[in-house]
Amino acid sequence: MSRDNKNNMLALLLTGLCGLAAADGYNPEALKSGRADPSMHLQQGSDQREAQKINDVIYKATGFGNTFMVVTEQGNVIIDTSLPGMAPKHKQLLTAVSDGPIHSLIITHGHGDHTGGVALWRQPQTKVIAQQNMLEFLSYQKRLKNLFMQRNSAQFGFDLVEQPTALTTASAAANMLPNTLFDQRFDFTLGQQQFEVLHTPAETYDALTVWMPQYKAAFVGDLFYRSFPNIYTLRGTKPRWALDYISSINRVLALKPEILLPSHGEPIIGEANIRRELLRYRDAIQYVHDQTVQGMNAGRDVYSLMREIKLPAELDVGEAYGWVSWSVRGIYEGYMGWFDGEPVSMYAESPQSVYPDLVALAGGADKVAGLAGQHLNQGHLVKALRLIEAALAAEPDNQAVLAMRLQILTALRKASGNLNESGWLNHGINQTYRQLQSQP
């Protein structure tokens, strides 16, 4: 990429993911039609002009990753800090409400859309509070930094961009580290306000919930959002345990919250509303877990279970962000690992290694692309895409095959109401465009 282009991309990155996503054409038909929950959109919060007041002491800046502020007479407490690109705006919105000293930053878990503003908010006296597993979790992400950077870029709709150096220097990284760790529970009182910080592992094993008993307010991080959870994320993750979600949601339910403040999307107000939403969420996760385990014990293969396990209507919490079939596979492989019980899978030759032979037998890549076209016309989009992957293994530069790939991926993206699926389809579309353009 040219220097100018690179600078433009960096400028976009600094303005936040929302700008980039739009620049990258992230706009599938199904999202426009409103099937997906708007709170999962990357653009969320980009038009916010002032912080949202939740009650007398709690304020929220909205983004893909909300930032919360609790105002006390002895300093303020910040809960989560959003993405690096959004944090400056969030800080501006919340500081306009109160510019008191930052007593504590509480980070609900070590994902980048929660830790992005830690270095920005932190002052010399600030306690940065996290569950103790965050240290290991941050080093795991650092160990695989290059791969995660590529995967995040693809999933969230921008192509490989170097991170701005200010955000990756050793001092910025050190500045992000928590200095106050706890195991199960950490309580403190500040200017009349009580805080109970509880370990509630779910999406990550360092996840926490902040409970303010005086207001019955629970800041739950990513334990709840308005979509089936990402029990597996396509970006790549260690296993996320469905049963951890269940016990952590039970821990929050037992508090009987009247204000529920997730780090993505809008708050839920009222004990009965919260109880109904959390119970449905918990039961949806339990259902998918139990169906998967039952299928595993019945000897079913992972693809059959991915196709067959669907949420019953009363547990349908939507799939704008997480997707049931990915979670089924995440649970299956979380429990059993990668081996599928087929002798051939023990060896290092991939299924793709025999595609060129099969394509040759079928009469060449053009023939296979023709058959893919028929599947596309009949609405069998994934079957069509499988055939194209085989054709490309045999003839990687074949224009007709690449053009068919582009058509299939575009049709899939138009139909997608899921943010992560759309991201990866966009990535495939961009990749195929580039391949087509680089041909003479």
Toward Zn ion, which CB reaches closer, 215 or 224? Answer: 224
Q: Which of 113, 244, 319, 421 binds Zn ion (CB under 5 A)?
A: 113
Least distance (Å) from Zn ion to the CB of residue 65? 6
Least distance (Å) from Zn ion to the CB of residue 109? 8
Q: How many residues bind Zn ion (CB under 5 A)?
A: 2
Toward Zn ion, which CB reaches closer, 222 or 395? Answer: 222
Contact 85, 16 (CB under 8 A): yes
Least distance (Å) from Zn ion to the CB of residue 431? 26
Q: Cα separation of 211 and 217, whole Å?
A: 6
The stretch near Zn ion (CB under 5 A) out of 106-114, 227-235, 267-275, 368-376 is: 106-114
- Strand arrangement of the beta sheet that strand 52-53 belongs to: 52-53, 58-61, 67-72, 75-79, 102-106, 127-131, 180-182
Toward Zn ion, which CB reaches closer, 262 or 295? Answer: 262
The region that residue 168 occupies, defined by phi over 0 for left and psi between -120 and 50 for alpha, beta otherwise, is alpha
Q: Cα separation of 155 and 419, whole Å?
A: 9
Least distance (Å) from Zn ion to the CB of residue 264? 6
Toward Zn ion, which CB reaches closer, 63 or 428? Answer: 63
Footprint of Zn ion on 201-240 (CB under 5 A): 222
Toward Zn ion, which CB reaches closer, 108 or 292? Answer: 108
The stretch near Zn ion (CB under 5 A) out of 55-63, 105-113, 227-235, 343-351 is: 105-113
Toward Zn ion, which CB reaches closer, 37 or 113? Answer: 113
Nearest CA to 407 out of 374, 376, 365, 438 is that of 376
Footprint of Zn ion on 252-291 (CB under 5 A): none
Is residue 80 part of the contact set for Zn ion (CB under 5 A)?
no
Nearest CA to 58 out of 195, 227, 181 is that of 195
- Mark residues 142-171: x for contact with Zn ion by CB under 5 A, - for none: ------------------------------
Least distance (Å) from Zn ion to the CB of residue 143? 20
Nearest CA to 418 out of 220, 199, 255, 233 is that of 233
Q: Is 401 exposed, middle or buried (0-12, 13-18, 19+ CB in 10 A)?
A: buried
Toward Zn ion, which CB reaches closer, 230 or 432? Answer: 230
The stretch near Zn ion (CB under 5 A) out of 19-27, 40-48, 110-118, 411-419 is: 110-118
Q: Cα separation of 80 and 129, whole Å?
A: 10
Q: Which residue has the tokens 């009949």?
A: 378
Least distance (Å) from Zn ion to the CB of residue 222? 4
Q: Could you tell me the sign of the dihedral formed by the alpha carbons of 175, 144, 248, 307, in that order? A: positive
The stretch near Zn ion (CB under 5 A) out of 111-119, 134-142, 310-318, 400-408 is: 111-119
Toward Zn ion, which CB reaches closer, 86 or 102? Answer: 86
Q: Cα separation of 390 and 392, whole Å?
A: 5
Q: Which residue has the tokens 């969230």?
A: 156
Q: Which residue has the tokens 């902040």?
A: 210
Tokens of 88: 């400056």
**What are the residues binding Zn ion (CB under 5 A)?**
113, 222
